[in-house]
Structure 1
Amino acid sequence: MANKSPLRFKKLYLACSVGLLFSSAQVLAADSGPFSPNSPWMLGDWGGERSTLKQEGVDFQVNYTGEAASNFSGGYDKSTTARYADQWQFGVDLDLDKLLNWKDTEFQMTVTNRNGRNISNDAVGDPRTGTLSSSQEVWGRGQTTRLTQFWIRQGYFNDTLDIKAGRVTVGEDFDSLKSNFQNLALGSGQAGNWRGDRWYNWPISQWGGRIKLNITPEIYTQVGIYNQNPKNYDTGNGFRLDSSGSIGNLIPVEAGWTPTLGPDKLAGKYALGFYYSSTKGNVYSSGSIQNGSEQYSDQAHAYGGYVLVQQQLTAVNGDNSRGLSLTVQGVMNDKKTSSTDNYQSVAITYKGIFDSRPKDELGFGVGRIHVNSDLSQTQRDQNAANGVNNYNNPTYLPVQSGAEYDYELYYGIQATDWLTVRPNLQYISAPGAVSQVKDAFVGGIMVNVAL
Structure 2
Amino acid sequence: MKQSKAVTKKHGALALSALCLALFAGGASAAGEPFSYDSPWMFGDWGGDRAALEQKGVKFNVDYTMEAASNFAGGYNSSTTARYSDQWAFGVNLDLEKLLDWQDTEFQMTITNRDGNNLSDQVADPRTGMLSSVQEVYGRGQTWRLTQFWLRKGFFNDVLDIKAGRVTVGEDFDNFDSKFQNLAFGSGQAGNWRGDHWYNWPVSQWGGRVKLNFTPEVFLQVGFYNQNPYNYDRGDGFRLEFNPTEGNLVPVELGWKPTFGPDNLPGNYRIGFYYSSTNDDVYSSWRNGAYHDDAHSYGGYILAQQQLFSQGGSADRGLTLTLQAVMNDHKTAKTDNYQAISLAWKGPFDARPQDEIGIGAARIHVNSDYTSMLRAQNRENGVADYNSPTYLPIQEGSEYNYEIYYNFHVTNWLQLRPNLQYVAAPGAVTKVDDAFIGGLSANLSF
Matched, 1:49 2:44: no
Q: Within 1, Cα distance between the matches of 2:14 and 2:97?
A: 42
Cα deviation digits, residues 275-315 of structure 1 (max 9, x gap): 00111101111111x2xx3x111111100000001111111
In 1: Cα distance, 2:297 partner to 2:311 partner = 45
TM-score, scaled relative to structure 1: 0.96
The residue aligned with 2:173 is 174
Partner of 2:301: 306
The residue that corresponds to 2:146 in the other structure is 147
Conserved 8 A contact 1:45-1:51: yes
Correspondence for 1:409: 404
Q: Alpha-carbon deviation of 1:19?
A: 3.3
Question: Aligned residue for 2:95?
Answer: 95
CA contact (8 A) 1:9 1:68 kept: no
Q: Say if 1:64 and 1:86, in contact at 8 Å, map to a contact too.
A: yes
Partner amino acid for 1:439? D
Matched, 1:353 2:348: yes
Query: Runs in 1 of length 4+ with deviation above 2 angstroms?
Result: 1-22
| CA distance, structure 1, for counterparts of residue 259 and residue 41 of structure 2 | 29
The one of 348, 373, 381 equivalent to 2:368 is 373
Partner deviation per Cα, 1:40-94 (whole Å, 9 max, x = no partner): 0001000011011111110101100000011111000000111100000000000
CA distance in 2, matches of 1:124, 1:171: 27
Structure 1 residue 394: deviation in Å? Answer: 1.4
Letter in 2 for 1:405: Y
1:390 CA displacement: 1.3
Report how many residues are paired. 443
Q: Does 1:136 align with 2:139?
A: no
Task: State the SS of the aligned residue for 2:51.
Answer: helix
Matched, 1:203 2:202: yes
Aligned positions of 1:274-289 closer than 5 A: 274-288=273-287
TM-score, length-normalised on structure 2? 0.97
Secondary structure of the residue that 1:195 maps to in structure 2?
coil
What code does the residue aligned with 2:113 have?
A: N
Q: Give the distance between the partners of 2:50 and 2:15, measured in 1 at CA.
A: 27
Q: Secondary structure at the match of 1:69?
A: strand
CA distance in structure 1 between the partners assigned to 2:15 and 2:379 by the alignment:
47
Q: Contact conserved, 1:16 with 1:447, CA < 8 A, in 2? A: no
Verify the 8 A CA contact 2:141 2:232 in the aligned structure 1.
Answer: yes
Q: Distance in 1 between the 2:189 and 2:24 partners?
A: 36
- Identify if the C-alpha distance between structure 1 residues 446 and 30 changes in structure 2 by more than 3 Å, giving closer, same or farther: same
Unaligned runs of 5+ in 2: none
Deviation at 1:18, TM superposition (A): 3.8
Classify the secondary structure of the residue corresponding to 2:191.
helix
Deviations 1:202-256 (A, max 9, x none): 1111000100000000000000100011221111111111111210000000001
Please say if residues 128 and 397 of structure 1, whose CA atoms lie closer than 8 Å, have aligned partners that are also in contact. Answer: yes
Structure 2 distance, partners of 1:6, 1:272, is 42
Deviation at 1:31, TM superposition (A): 2.8
| Residue equivalent to 1:446 | 441
SS state at 2:70 partner: strand
**Which residue pairs with 1:341 in the alignment?**
336
Determine the structure 1 residue equivalent to 2:159: 160
Match of 1:116 in 2: 116
What secondary structure does 2:140 align onto?
coil
Query: Aligned pair 1:431/2:442, yes or no?
Result: no
Residue identity in the other structure for 2:216: P
Q: Which residue is equivalent to 1:61?
A: 61
Distance in 2 of aligned mates of 1:398 and 1:181: 29
1:194 — aligned with what?
Answer: 193
Contact 1:420–1:447 (8 Å) recurs in 2:
yes
**AA at the equivalent of 2:49:** E
Using the TM superposition, name which of 54-63 and 8-17 deviates more.
Answer: 8-17
**Structure 1 residues 389 and 8: alpha-carbon distance in aligned structure 2, compared to 1, 3 A threshold:** farther
- The whole-number CA distance in structure 2 between the counterparts of 1:11 and 1:132 is 31
Q: Distance in 2 between matches of 1:365 and 1:155?
A: 37
Residues 126-168 of structure 1 deviation map (CA, whole Å, 9 limit, x = unaligned):
1101100000000111110000000000000000000000000
Identity of aligned residues (%): 62
Question: Separation in 2 of the partners of 1:390 and 1:249?
Answer: 41
CA contact (8 A) 1:150 1:168 kept: yes
Does the C-alpha gap of structure 1 residues 50 and 12 become closer, same or farther in structure 2, counting only changes over 3 Å? closer
Asked if the contact 2:21/2:35 (under 8 Å) is kept, the reply is: no
| Cα deviation digits, residues 16-47 of structure 1 (max 9, x gap) | 4443444xx345x4431111111100010000
What does residue 72 of structure 1 align with? Answer: 72
Aligned equivalents of 2:244 and 2:436: distance in 1?
A: 41
Give the corresponding residue for 1:332.
Answer: 327
Q: Secondary structure at the match of 1:129?
A: coil
- Residue 217 of structure 1: aligned partner: 216
Aligned residue for 2:139, secondary structure, equals: coil
- CA change 1:93–1:286 in 2 (3 A) is same
Residue identity in the other structure for 2:76: Y
| Residue correspondence of structure 1 range 230-309 to structure 2 within 5 A | 230-288=229-287, 290=288, 293=289, 295-309=290-304
- Aligned alpha-carbon RMSD (Å): 1.4
* Equivalent in the alignment of 1:104: 104
Superposition deviation, residue 371 in structure 1: 0.3
1:388 corresponds in structure 2 to 383
**Residue type of the partner of 1:271?**
R
Query: Secondary structure at the residue paired with 1:415?
Result: strand
Shift in Å at residue 14 of structure 1? 4.7
Say if 2:22 is the partner of 1:19.
Answer: yes
Deviates more, 1:245-254 or 1:8-17: 8-17
- Secondary structure of the structure 2 residue equivalent to 1:267: strand
Taking the aligned partners of 1:105 and 1:257, their CA distance within structure 2 comes to 23
Contact 2:22 2:35 in 1 (8 A): no
Which runs of 5 or more structure 1 residues have no equivalent in the other structure? none
Residue pair 1:88, 1:113 contacting (<8 A) in 2 also: yes
Letter in 2 for 1:62: V
